[in-house]
Amino acid sequence: MISFVTSNKGKFAEARGIFGDLEQKDIGYTEIQADTLEEVAIFGMKEVSSRLQVPVMLEDAGLFIEALQGFPGVYSAYVQKTIGNDGILRLMEGVVDRRAFFKSVVVYAEPGLEPQMFKGIVQGRIGYEARGSLGFGYDPVFYVDERSLGETEIEEKNRISHRAASMLALKEWLDSR
């Protein structure tokens, strides 16, 4: 049984759809200010794995908008909490290039093992309006084809998402040992 250290219920629900057997541990960890999700995740895991001597994973994720040079990126959680999806739509007013991607960086550790990192990306577009109430965070403003992730059931999101890609890579690695 793996412990997933996260405060985010939406992330956990998606991860459980992939792993089945999974335990949420909402114990918090230091998220350093860094330029990349990878650095944030690796640093977080150093702290978590010294506190929990069990198989454990954590994830740092973010939304990267091309026309905003990758903003909000590593600041995605803070930006969602402050200006939210309305703020993103306002920043994108008049912007023609709507391309964006979500990225997920998962780190897995267990006692006696060097931490292992897995990544996933999903390409999409920032829409012109928020649609749907499924998922969490930026899902209502992030569109894949003609549908927002806010309108996408969790089973379908788990076939296409950044999180599905990173976590399936971890799952395959675990199964192949």
Where does residue 28 fall: left (phi above 0), alpha (psi -120 to 50 degrees), or beta otherwise?
Answer: left
C-alpha distances in Å from residue 107, one per residue of 46, 129, 131, 145: 10, 33, 31, 29
**Strand order through the sheet with 56-65:** 22-25, 2-5, 56-65, 99-109, 116-126, 142-144, 147-148
Stretch that binds ligand ITT, among 15-23, 45-53, 83-91, 129-137 (CB under 6 A): 129-137
Task: Let me know if 60 is a catalytic residue.
Answer: yes
- Location of structure tokens 């649609």: 131
User: Kind and range of the H or E element at 175?
Assistant: helix 162-175
Interaction mask 145-174, ligand ITT, x per CB under 6 A: ----x-----------x-x-----------
Which one of 26, 35, 60, 97 is the catalytic residue? Answer: 60
Stretch that binds ligand ITT, among 54-62, 87-95, 113-121, 123-131 (CB under 6 A): 54-62
- Applying CB under 6 A, the site for ligand ITT has a residue count of 22
- Residues in contact with 51: Cβ distance below 8 Å, sequence separation at least 6, in sequence order: 27
If one asks whether residue 106 binds ligand ITT (CB under 6 A), the answer comes out as no
If one asks whether residue 130 binds ligand ITT (CB under 6 A), the answer comes out as no
83 or 174: CB nearest ligand ITT: 83
Which residues are the active-site residues? 60
Residues that bind ligand ITT (CB under 6 A): 6-8, 11, 31, 59-63, 76-77, 80, 102, 135-139, 149, 161, 163
